[in-house]
A and B are shown apart, each in its own frame.
Chain A
Amino acid sequence: LAKTTQPISMDSYEGQEVNITCSHNNIATNDYITWYQQFPSQGPRFIIQGYKTKVTNEVASLFIPADRKSSTLSLPRVSLSDTAVYYCLVAANQAGTALIFGKGTTLSVSS
């Protein structure tokens, strides 16, 4: 399984754009990059998934360079409610595949 490395913590202010970068040097050809968000005492919630280039949804954007050895989650105009732990995961796109979580990035948004 590909190992992921991301910053332990980040701080931001309301209204700013936040970019969290994840390194996954050993990503396999059939692996997808997925990001989850977790609030205290809750289960993780899916944010976005991508394979290459750029993916955007109503919550975030995911930028993946051509070599796929890293990815960047972009959260536009964060608010206090975006304070959470963000996990970058690399997993094969197969039904029934368990997700292996790394340490995650704790994002703290202040007013």
Chain B
Amino acid sequence: GAVVSQHPSWVICKSGTSVKIECRSLDFQATTMFWYRQFPKQSLMLMATSNEGSKATYEQGVEKDKFLINHASLTLSTLTVTSAHPEDSSFYICSARPPEYGTGRNEQFFGPGTRLTVL
């Protein structure tokens, strides 16, 4: 199957600093990628849809100025957590879907996730 990678796999930062997380589709091009956040013992929460060459679409309640998303190429989307605070500590996961799958296969591929800890 298709592979989605994330970097870094974990990061620890000080409060007030910014952290960038990369999401890459390794063997396919993705015009759309998705960013999720997951707190311990909870389900995944969709944060935003990343669109190549255009602005991201954010879910209600997600601050677009705090969670900056850039989808500069067909294989890379980045999520930057600006002025991070301890409450931003979470597991961040991205996903993408090969466009050639068409309408007969509703499968998305998820990255391994990035564990962010803000001190």
Contact = CB atoms under 8 A, between A and B. Distances in A.
B46 A46 contact: no
A32 B106 CA distance: 7
A46 B110 CA distance: 9
A28 interface: no
Nearest to B34: A98
Interface residues of B, number: 30
The majority secondary structure among interface residues of chain B is mixed
Contact of A49 (B31, B44, B107): B107
Nearest to B107: A46
Contacts, number: 61
Given A43-B112, A103-B43, A34 B31 contact: no
A1 to B, nearest CB: 11
Interface residues of A, number: 24
The majority secondary structure among interface residues of chain A is loop
A98 B103 CA distance: 14
A34 B106 contact: yes
A84 to B, nearest CB: 13
Contacts of A49: 105-107
Interface of A: 32, 34, 41-46, 49, 87, 91-104
